Amino acid sequence: MIKNNIGNTALEKHEALSRQYGTGIWIKEEFRNPGGSSKDRVAWYMVQDAIQHTKIPEGGIFVEASSGNTGISLALIARELGYQCKIFVSKSTSLEKILMLQRLGAQVEVCLNSNGPLDENSTQFKAKTFADQHPEAYFTNQYYNDANIEAHFQTTGPEIWKQMDGQVTHVLIGMGTGGTISGIGKYLKEKNPNIQIWGVEPMNSIYQLIVQEMPIPEDQPKFDPIEGIGRTFLPGSFDPSVVDQVFQVSADKTKKIAHLFSHQNKQLTGYSSAAVLAALDEHADQMDLKSSDRIVLVFPDHGDRYLEKLYSNKAGNKNGDLGFKHV
């Protein structure tokens, strides 16, 4: 059963990064989940909550607004448990993810954006509308579902603590729905309030303003397109009280880091994972890292879901065949 293979992902020290930045750096390899991302954890918790509390009829349709990974996880779990799945994705979602969703039997509807529940063209609005109009459907609503935080509080956070023997000083996490950083941050802060929980988002996303308790301008510019992270609205699945600082990175920097990391390590990193690396590189001085620090980087998924966007010649990769390998 898929449940038995979700979680307990590897956490490995990355010797090259540790040498490069003069500190201890570990990578939490969430791409090793059966659905290929950290979203397996959240999807399982949301599905189980819906079934146990009869929020969905037997054989009904799980509905979600997703940049792809949560949708893939839901489709995988729904198929195993005998349910259907319909996923609303934005037009910026990678082709690899859309094809994967379709291979898993999910219905896929492409929307103009993912700008939140008030925008009639958004994935969130259309997903809710569909669920409201179909009694056999249930909108898991990862942006406002407590199970999003709970999954990482109950599983990912404890895993990091145990795997690091409690000796962790910082965690660096990309911020999409906000559930991953909120759940991990809540757990680790309860264990040791001195652990620094750092978020990563694209330029002009709003999480940094929220953590700094600053108002969001009405004319806030569109944030850089880094698939999987960044928001124009505040999700209910985000708890700013457990986040110490948010670092912003550009899409261009993220792409360059993705290519460099893959060339040096012969490993394709996912888009938001590359953003975490870009934040580390761009803001290392501001982070004031010490040789005794023990930093965990959360890598939610793998680069094989962004071949066209990050690693093709069309995406600006002029390095040719670098001997990539799938990890």
Confirm if 204 and 160 have CB atoms less than 8 A apart: no
Dmax over CA atoms of the chain, in Å, equals: 57
d(CA 60, CA 284): 48
Give per-residue pLDDT as tens, 142-169. 999 999 999 999 999 999 999 999 999 9
pLDDT tens, the chain, 327 aa long: 888 999 999 999 999 999 999 999 999 999 999 999 999 999 999 999 999 999 999 999 999 999 889 999 999 999 999 999 999 999 989 999 999 999 999 999 999 998 888 999 999 999 999 999 999 999 999 999 999 999 999 999 999 999 999 999 999 999 999 999 999 999 999 999 999 999 999 999 999 999 999 999 988 889 999 999 999 999 999 999 999 999 999 999 999 999 999 999 988 999 999 999 999 999 999 999 999 999 999 999 999 999 988 887 655 444 333 222 222
Confirm if 143 and 232 have CB atoms less than 8 A apart: no
Instruction: Provide the whole-model pTM.
Output: 0.92
Confirm if 139 and 64 have CB atoms less than 8 A apart: yes
Q: Cα–chain-centroid distance for residue 36?
A: 11
Taking CB atoms within 8 Å and a gap of at least 24, the contacts of 14-22 are: 14/297, 16/264, 16/265, 17/280, 17/297, 21/280, 21/284, 21/289, 22/289, 22/291
The single residue listed with the structure tokens 């529940």 is 117
How far is the CA of 166 from the CAs of 162, 244, 267, in angstroms?
6, 19, 28
d(CA 191, CA 194): 9
The single residue listed with the structure tokens 């103009």 is 112
Strand partners, 28: 11, 298
Give per-residue pLDDT as tens, 43-94. 999 999 999 999 999 999 999 999 889 999 999 999 999 999 999 999 989 9
Give per-residue pLDDT as tens, 211-228. 999 999 988 889 999 999
